[in-house]
Structure 1
């Protein structure tokens, strides 16, 4: 049995050297990583068959024998001297030592044999982590190239569409800048006449949006009943309740209105609503559970309008689920649920909020803070895409003046006015940049 060491930059190159020098009968004793690559220690039973070279007398550098320190001729070097290790000299002892090593150590394996007389186990080695890393880098690069190609193809398709139907592309871009989502803008523009002036087509699109936008026809003040206003924190639920209660009291009397709050989390939530109730002249109660809410609804069963104020939670707050369950378990009266949303929020934010509260049947929505908006297209898109009727609009803090029943034509005209005022007019920053470029 003779032992040889082989070095390569990776496992594949080192194994190729073993197979070329020692043949398929070689036994892989160990493999490990070194500074320059991979080191393999292989053993063989017979003298390898070397390939013929043009210079027969040229010494084989790879097969250069190692001499003992004394250099004595005829003395067989030990296995420890050959492989530079202080381990056992016999192959059997070496194999036993290998099997006693930790599971992470390299295990010996036989190279695939090409001999017809013996069959050996194929070479088994540890997976090359460097190759795995390179493969992951290649996959990531291919994924990036695919994304770039998809973006370029989409740009080419858009360019072809703009050349084929320039008016429709212009109208889509105009709606998107007004705040309408791209998908809804393409759907609406598909109904626009092909041969018409730009102004006529724009008016047609605005009328189409108004016709598709549904409202609740002032349902709360016209029909009364039990109404709960829900929504995330900061949207103005309590102020909106005060506005609705004050307007209903002006029409039918303060004795026909009652206010209930189930907000037991926010500091001074009940006191704020109680202050509004004292000004209006209507009773205000607090319910901490579904049973208390049912009792209060039974107590106010003769009232024309009962408004329920809820706590404002984020859509990821677990307390929101408990509050929704409280409303659902109170089965004494048919509670109508309205979602209060800030119209100046991003479309994606409003959509996530709607999905959170949609587990309870919604009769409509109320858009607040119209006075703080620079565009209304996001709120319009939400209502159209989810077929959610719009109940009321608020545009200030005054009670009860700053609230009005939603009207589709009014909402679309406000959106067009905001678009004309802010989207079409260049900002001061743009004017400064344009002046600098011209200089």
Structure 2
């Protein structure tokens, strides 16, 4: 139908009156008479062939009819437009079908395949998304799940499953332990198993068993049989009786284990039960039993309700034991619950025998077992449940934050000191100063550092501060918290001596040659040292003093080693030759110090393009050992630029009151950690990089810069969580 109005509003009013709000507007144009619209009811749209075969019938006479010629032309144009629109719809429909068929036929990427593995094993979608979101680029580009990808997946899951280091961590702690959980979960049998293990370690005298189960027929008798077999006393009390009522009768017992009455997680009396177990002056350790054979939804509700009950009673529930593993078809669902709620898994029970059928939790073994049992998903679920790369919800982000912080603490010596320095943020200036002094007075402790990367004794270009010195661990990695230059004694030799006497440091990496006094001190003690120098540095070779850069043609080529340079992979070509050094003012000035010069050229690993030249000098007595030292000096070039970037990001106007020395400690520490993770090539470093970049570092920037930004974000989020009162959850 064709409508003509004096303006668009009038024409559209006519369309709505005639065809309703669902009208399909085919075309519109402006004429001398006003605005003309061609429209039709969407339900009455003819097929494309019909439109071409027969023109539409003449509509009712419009209020202001157009001329016959213009009306005929408009009809023809409208018919063509409708045909094109239908062709476009058909094309889009075909493309959609083709895309869906391609997605079903094309092989999924590594991330989707790993997600499928987790879902088939029984892990939930939330944990699956969280884990796969941290897939390292090195594995994602492979396009298939190989041994490396599966090993990474098992490491990720095992890292999220907290366990005991050994049985002594639980059994050697005195106090009261209460097993809680729903009816039928296996509390009585588990009580006997724990008691038997304790008796085998410490004898029968310190142990006592307590039951509060007066509802179940024969409950007392079952535990009493176990107590007689173990030769330990058993006490009974009502479920509503405070545990403190029995403490006087159990005086002299250092390990008391309580078998509580089973209650549904939906029973309102759960809070009262947990409240009676608090024990006033004798805190009770609550341990939740989780039935591996239960449905995931049931397990989720059990954990949430019992944790709420513990909180309402003023306590805390952090430990659990998995029971009835032998009855469960799959292990992944219960492990998923334990991981997501951050519970510590103490033991796993897998049978009725006491005490044989219970073992200490081993995260790696449990994860391997869980992934080995998989059930193919229905096709419909496969199409709708591949893991989205969103990084999970707030709880998932919190778990990733805690896992990442724990991994950094384990990996980097001094990271705990860096955290402590960050904690000074926002405190009054005098408090910051005193606490910084306290933190650094004994850092690094003897044995923590073997070497020192001494920074240049001048200000970083464009800044009013000098790059702090960085200690090296016995394994050759940088300690997380560098040492501020202005806190150290004056004089190079005096600094070297203090490093040896206070911190047991005997390896020294320097920017520039040591002065005569320091050089003599190093040589008298035959200490390991290496200096990065300029190409213009003069040495004696062939009886002549020449700049190092001029000796490249006569140096012995020693091949290439892999390295990272300015945040990108590179290749370092090395050459070397014997030389003599002249240390002015040294007793050996006339004869020179026997040394070896090292010449290096860094090239881009892909294009081969030259990136930089570097020169080093080391005592001849070290032979060809200094290659690792050369790399440490080369890769240390990145520390000052990264520190400068971190310094600018830590603006007190944005994050709070901050002394300059505290700010520099934080900035240099973040730079050192970022550089360490960028340079390291082991699997644990790969995992950590992926976790950090997934938390907000981004993947398009230079990798070391992205890691630095991610570390800053990590600490800011950590502070936000602590300000919300969730610090214990985060660090647990």
What's the TM-score bracket when you normalise by the shorter of the two chains? 0.5 to 0.7
Pairwise mapping of residues 160-171 of structure 1 onto structure 2 (< 5 A)? 166-171=109-114
Structure 1 residue 279 displacement after superposition: 0.7
Partner of 1:189 in structure 2? 132
Cα distance, 1:424–1:331 mapped onto 2, change above 3 Å: same
| SS of equivalent residue, structure 1 residue 340 | strand
Q: Deviations over 1:322-378 (max 9, x none)?
A: 3223223x3131100000011121111101011111021113110011111221111
Answer yes or no: is 1:270 the counterpart of 2:220: yes
What is the CA distance between 1:286 and its match in structure 2? 0.8
Taking the aligned partners of 1:171 and 1:162, their CA distance within structure 2 comes to 17
Q: In the alignment, which residue of structure 2 is the partner of 1:282?
A: 232
CA drift of 1:158 comes to 12
**Structure 2 runs not aligned, ≥5 long:** 1-95, 311-315, 378-732
SS at match of 2:182: coil
SS of the equivalent of 2:172 reads helix
Alignment of 1:292-311 (within 5 A): 293-311=243-261
Matched position secondary structure for 2:176: strand
Alignment of 1:145-224 (within 5 A): 166-192=109-135, 193-196=139-142, 197-199=144-146, 200-217=148-165, 218=167, 219-224=169-174
2:217 aligned counterpart, secondary structure: coil
Map 1:249-264 → 2, pairs under 5 A: 249-264=199-214
Deviation at 1:275, TM superposition (A): 1.0
CA-to-partner distance for each residue in 1:79-129, whole Å, 9 max, x for gaps?
xxxxxxxxxxxxxxxxxxxxxxxxxxxxxxxxxxxxxxxxxxxxxxxxxxx
Q: Tell me, yes or no, if structure 1 residue 367 matches structure 2 residue 322.
A: yes
- Given candidates 295, 299, 304, the residue that maps to 1:346 is 295
Q: Distance in 2 between matches of 1:246 and 1:210?
A: 28
Match of 1:363, SS state, is strand
User: What are the ranges of 5 or more consecutive residues in structure 1 without an aligned counterpart?
Assistant: 1-152, 426-439
Cα offset, 1:396, TM superposition: 0.3
Secondary structure in 1 matching 2:205: helix
After TM superposition, give the deviation of residue 163 of structure 1 in Å: 6.3
Preserved contact between residue 220 and residue 227 of structure 1 (Cα < 8 Å)? no
Contact 1:298/1:332, CA 8 A, preserved across alignment = no
Structure-1 residue corresponding to 2:338? 383
Where do 4+ consecutive residues of structure 1 move more than 4 Å? 156-165, 289-292
Q: Per-residue displacement from partner, 1:109-165 (whole Å, max 9, x unpaired)?
A: xxxxxxxxxxxxxxxxxxxxxxxxxxxxxxxxxxxxxxxxxxxx9xx9998699696
The answer to whether structure 1 residue 418 and structure 2 residue 366 are counterparts is no
Paired residues in the alignment total 268
CA distance in 2, matches of 1:243, 1:401: 8
Give the Cα–Cα distance (whole angstroms) in 1 for the partners of residues 262 and 319 of structure 2.
18
- The answer to whether residue 354 in structure 2 is matched with residue 407 in structure 1 is no
Alpha-carbon RMSD = 2.7
Q: Distance in 2 between matches of 1:289 and 1:198?
A: 52
Distance in 2 of aligned mates of 1:357 and 1:364: 12
Q: SS at 1:223's partner residue?
A: coil
Q: Larger RCO: Structure 1 or Structure 2 (Cα < 8 Å, ≥ 6 residues apart)?
A: 1
Q: TM-score, normalised by structure 2?
A: 0.35
Aligned CA distance change for structure 1 residues 170 and 279 (closer, same or farther; 3 Å): same
Match of 1:357 among 295, 306, 311: 306
Distance in 1 (CA, whole Å) between partners of 2:317 and 2:105 is 40
SS at match of 1:375: coil
